[in-house]
């Protein structure tokens, strides 16, 4: 009750703080330090700017460089009241418990957290209310701006086609991989709203056979599932039963783009990670085993099958072929998708965003 009254008080006096000056970043409902907010925040720090990253997770404070601020503090309340620019990855919930409006020059900029393959606009009253408070939405291409404009019912002029900060470093690694990097395969299925994801959903699946094949080929598959599913698969004993099939802990690598360059190949389904992986120009395979069900319950941002940049795996033989093939024949397809989803291919997304908003000062 005391917190509620305090927040009501903060919101009521927001109009008194006319001189807005601070730049604040938030991510994952105020619980994490990751994604586009993390990378852009660190770019601002590298330019010597006074910026703040807000979190309600006390443990996360130790992982954030610069000026992290604890959400449940008087300092956070003051910084938020005088905030000029709010950069988020999901919405104003990233600054929880504060839900301040864009007034007196304050702007809310949604950096988002990837290019959405799956439909993200549900047109619910709650989402519509939230969208009204976004001044700008960051995207990587005109194509992305167009389909999100329809999903969110937002004017195209509210989208900034500048690229995503999370992909900037990936451009440094766009080259063929050898050695250890070439032997690592990332298996990153997306989260299901209805059911837990099925790994290796083949009728002829034999995990011991896959493990043996990987060993013979000096390869490892690292499985990165959604944090909500990770414990379930760890409890199944993957890491104990198999030598070359490992379930990785997302908590240890909260920002996948920090480690994406380590992998020589990617296996996924409907995850936007495939669109980031295009930058590396390395083989991609898809396992859309529940496509019809997923399309019915969640939906897609665009025609899924027309925008694949790799092969579809329907059985274990397909998997083995993918693992031992260089997949060079698909390179042209990957490049075509790269051009469609990434307007700028220079690793300077953070710089573009920085220049746009600094020019307003």
pTM of the model: 0.92
| CA 103 to chain CA centroid, nearest Å | 28
What would the two tokens of residue 2 be?
């005391």
Q: Residue 117: which of 337, 341, 301, 361 has the closest Cα? A: 301
Helices and strands (H, E) in the chain, number of each type: 14, 13
Model confidence at 360: pLDDT above 90: no
Q: Cα separation of 126 and 303, whole Å?
A: 27
**pLDDT-derived band at 196, boundaries 50, 70, 90:** confident
Residues 6 or more apart whose CB falls under 8 angstroms from that of 226 comprise 190, 191, 197, 250
Model confidence at 322: pLDDT above 80: yes
Query: In what helix (H) or strand (E) does residue 86 lie, and over which residues does it extend?
Result: strand 83-88
How much is the average pLDDT of 287-293? 96
Q: Cα separation of 323 and 316, whole Å?
A: 11
DSSP string, 1-56: -HHHHHHHHHHHHGGG-----EEEE--GGGT---HHHHHHHHHHHHTT--EEEEES
Q: How far apart are the first and last CA of the chain?
A: 39
pLDDT tens column, 41-71: 999 999 999 999 999 999 999 999 999 999 9
pLDDT of residue 1: 63
Question: What percentage of residues in the chain have a pLDDT greater than 70?
Answer: 93
User: How far is residue 130 from each of residues 3, 33, 120, measured CA to CA in Å?
Assistant: 22, 22, 13
CB atoms within 10 A of CB 291: 16
């Amino acid at each position: 009750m005391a917190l509620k009254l305090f927040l009501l008080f903060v919101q009521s006096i927001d109009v008194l703080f006319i001189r807005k000056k601070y730049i604040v970043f938030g991510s994952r409902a105020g619980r994490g330090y990751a994604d586009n907010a993390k990378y852009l925040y660190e770019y601002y720090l590298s330019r010597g700017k006074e910026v703040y990253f807000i979190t309600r997770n006390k443990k996360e404070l130790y992982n954030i460089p610069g000026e992290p601020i604890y959400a449940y503090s008087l300092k956070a309340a003051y910084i938020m009241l005088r905030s000029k620019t709010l950069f988020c990855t999901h919405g104003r919930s990233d600054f929880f418990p504060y839900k301040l409006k864009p007034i007196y020059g304050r702007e809310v900029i949604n950096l988002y957290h990837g290019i959405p393959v799956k439909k993200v606009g549900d047109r619910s009253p709650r989402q519509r209310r939230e969208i009204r408070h976004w001044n700008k939405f960051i995207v990587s291409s005109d194509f992305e701006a167009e389909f999100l404009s329809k999903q969110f019912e937002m004017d195209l002029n509210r989208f900034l086609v500048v690229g995503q900060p999370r992909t900037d470093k990936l451009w440094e690694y766009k080259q063929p991989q050898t050695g250890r990097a070439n032997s690592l395969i990332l298996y990153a299925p997306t989260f299901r709203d209805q059911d837990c994801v099925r790994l290796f959903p083949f009728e002829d699946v034999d995990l011991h056979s896959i493990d043996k094949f990987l060993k013979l080929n000096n390869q490892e598959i690292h499985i990165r599932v959604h944090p909500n599913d990770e414990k379930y698969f760890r409890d199944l004993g993957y890491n104990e039963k198999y030598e070359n099939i490992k379930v990785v802990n997302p908590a240890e690598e909260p920002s996948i783009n920090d480690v994406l360059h380590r992998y020589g190949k990617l296996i996924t389904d409907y995850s936007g990670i495939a669109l980031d992986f295009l930058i590396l120009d390395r083989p991609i395979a898809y396992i859309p085993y529940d496509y019809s069900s997923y399309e019915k319950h969640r939906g897609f941002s665009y025609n899924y099958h027309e925008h694949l940049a790799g092969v579809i795996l329907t059985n274990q033989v397909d998997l083995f072929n993918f693992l031992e093939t260089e997949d060079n024949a698909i390179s042209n397809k990957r490049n075509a998708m790269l051009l469609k989803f990434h307007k700028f291919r220079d690793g300077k997304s953070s710089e573009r965003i920085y220049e746009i908003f600094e020019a307003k000062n």
